[in-house]
Amino acid sequence: MSVIDKIKARVSNPLIDDSEISTSVISNILNVAVCTSVHYNTDPWRFLVIQGNARVRFGEFLAKRAASEMADPTDSINVAKLAKIKTKPLRAPVIIVAGAAKSTNPKSRMVEDLASVSASCQNILLAAQELGLAAIWRTGAMTYSDDVVEYLGFEKATQLVAFIYLGNPAKHCKTKNRKSSEEFTRWLSE
């Protein structure tokens, strides 16, 4: 299958079983992740691999964080929401958190580093599919919060880009019919 066909066939798959993924497989995927264009060679990619009981602790942190933003976290509806939030990191045996570190190069622009890290996330998804793994790129409000960056131990001013859930597929998802680029493209020729 050509690279073009593989890109078109890629699907997000949230249906992940709990079997472990080896460190060597994860390292192989991350080595592919950093094969992206990057302006001024800033090497912005920062990854955190969350596995095992660290997922439980991360879920507890997310629930505590969400509870602090609720008027009444003891309300029965909020208790159910918090219980759900607490288990979200357990949806896969591996979570790869991707972020863009702020460069010290005065010519660099964060938007370019974010673009490079976003491309690295696409590489992760494509590599996972190539290896027969399921993966899904997740974000949400936590992605854009300084307290989450700090809790996860990233450098200050790092901007998170993705929480990629990774594992063996519990079920395979069908390939989607993709839109043509025609409706999103303008051509200038004169």
Residue 164, domain member (yes or no): yes
Tell me the CATH number at 46.
3.40.109.10
Counts for the chain of helices (H) and strands (E), in that order: 6, 4
Total number of domains in the chain: 1
Residue 62, domain member (yes or no): no
Residue 119, domain member (yes or no): yes
Tokens of 52: 């095992």
166: containing domain: 3-52+93-173
Higher pLDDT, 3 or 116: 116
* Cα–Cα dist 67/62, whole Å: 9
Q: What is the pTM of this model?
A: 0.95
**What are 123-158's pLDDT values in tens digits?**
999 999 999 999 999 999 889 999 999 999 999 999
Give percent of the chain with pLDDT exceeding 70.
100
**Over 90: is that where the pLDDT of 176 sits?**
no
Residue 184, domain member (yes or no): no
**Over 90: is that where the pLDDT of 15 sits?**
yes
Instruction: Evaluate whether 17 touches 166 at the Cβ level (below 8 Å).
Output: no
Residue 128, domain member (yes or no): yes
Residue 37, domain member (yes or no): yes
**What are 74-85's pLDDT values in tens digits?**
999 999 999 999
Residue 30, domain member (yes or no): yes
Query: How many Cβ atoms are within 10 Å of 170's Cβ, its own excluded?
Result: 14
